[in-house]
Structure 1
Amino acid sequence: MLKLRLKRNGRKRQPSYRLVVIESTSRRDGRPVDEVGYYNPITKESYFNKEKIIKWLNIGVQPTETVSHLLKRTNLLQSS
């Protein structure tokens, strides 16, 4: 099963994350199927490729809880 989740980048105590589509059984920093954006929690900077995210969600990829919260903030995912 594929998941839409965060992959950690950056130095120690200065994290930044890439938003990736990855197999749910692989490790957090494993090889992704596709990279669809990034998020920096320190500067609150983010970029999400809307076309790719919508395409993967329509295929059936499940976002993690944190990713779904980020997508709801940018109005890519409907609040329920």
Structure 2
Amino acid sequence: MATKIRLARGGSNKRPFYAIVVCDSRMPRDGRFLEKVGTYNPLVAKDSEERVKMDAERVQFWLDRGAQPTDRIVRFLEAAGLRAKTERNNPNKGQPGKKAVERAKERAAKAESAE
């Protein structure tokens, strides 16, 4: 069975609250899970200890058994010191989109014709 460590959403509309769960990868996001190993509250300040709570021993137990953490959980594990930090590379993140490039070209062409 392929297991994942991921977030299961709870809370009401516009007030999210997540449980960090270990589940079979074929189960739906908020469906059946094997074990709840922590919580994540995105509404709390980023530097607060209440934002992410995890049972580090149980998380390590499941990682040793081959559970695959999702991207967001990997970030939580890196912050908790349970996993080595990896450098991420997204070269397209800082570049403007297609429409912004088109507008810049139009402005440049207008400026040249006005001179």
User: Quick check: which one's helix share is greater?
Assistant: 2
Is 1:68 aligned with 2:79?
Answer: no
Q: Which residue of 1 aligns with 2:17?
A: 16
**What residue ranges of structure 1 are gaps of 5+ in the alignment?**
none
CA distance in 2, matches of 1:32, 1:10: 17
RMSD: 0.9
CA distance in 1, matches of 2:8, 2:36: 9
Higher Cα Rg: structure 1 or 2? Answer: 2
> CA shift at 1:52, angstroms?
0.2
Paired letter, 1:37: G
| 1:33 is the counterpart of 2:64 | no
When normalised by structure 2's length, the TM-score is 0.67
After TM superposition, give the deviation of residue 77 of structure 1 in Å.
Answer: 1.5
Distance in 2 of aligned mates of 1:18 and 1:38: 4
Unaligned runs of 5+ residues in structure 2 are 87-115
Counterpart of 2:112?
Answer: none
Larger relative contact order, structure 1 or 2 (CA cutoff 8 Å, min sep 6): 1
Which of the two has greater strand per residue? 1
Shift in Å, 1:75: 1.2
Q: TM-score, with normalisation over the residues of structure 1?
A: 0.94
**2:52–2:76 Cα contact (<8 Å) kept:** no
